[in-house]
A = this chain, B = another copy of it.
Amino acid sequence: MPKKVDHEARRLEIAEALWRIASTRGLDGVSLRDVAAEADISLGRLQHYFRTKDEMLVFALRHINVLADRRIRERIDAVVSDLDEEPPPRTVLRECLAGMLPLDDKSRVGTLVGAAYFARAVHDERLRAEAREGIPKLAEFFAGLLRRAMERGEVSADRDPDDEAMLLISLVDGLTAYTLLEVHTPERALSLLDLHMARLFGR
């Protein structure tokens, strides 16, 4: 294996050990040593790949987002039958938002890593940078879809796409939190999202 690929592969293995801990007992009080033990490597070896817990957490979060993107793309491809046509913006938006909810084991792990990230990032300026960069990008992407939907007459022209995008992201974030806390089921979270979407799209 070329050296660079090997390096990335090792980092991924370590990230996966971190996910396993995040999805079972959480990352509160977890040390680099704990992650090394879970990955079955020495602490020194782990530190060759990640110097700090936060560096590891951001890597794990980014990679989990890449995997989520891939899953969402597959879901969109599955529902859009004719690949030559532009997929309806509503479909893309709905699949993206549904993909952010903990509806199955894979997305559940993603949201649990997200919860661990959130708890640390509120107290860590460098960790917050990840959200401050990523969320506006996501909001911009959603606003673009909403603008397209408005051009197609599917969303009322008096809506502000940027406001609506941030409302959707915030709503999904809260629905996710209450799913993880078992206040409601994943199915209920999805149906509430669909209710909000139906109103946004005027039906």
Contact = CB atoms under 8 A, between A and B. Distances in A.
Interface residues of A, number: 42
B174 A169 contact: yes
A47 to B, nearest CB: 18
Interface string A102-137: 000000000010011011111100001001100110
Given A173-B178, A181-B121, A29 B29 contact: yes
A166 B119 CA distance: 23
A86 interface: no
A172 interface: yes
Given A25-B123, A136-B183, A170-B192, 17 more contacts: A24-B123, A26-B120, A27-B28, A27-B119, A28-B119, A115-B118, A115-B122, A116-B119, A122-B181, A131-B183, A135-B181, A166-B192, A167-B195, A169-B178, A170-B174, A170-B175, A174-B177
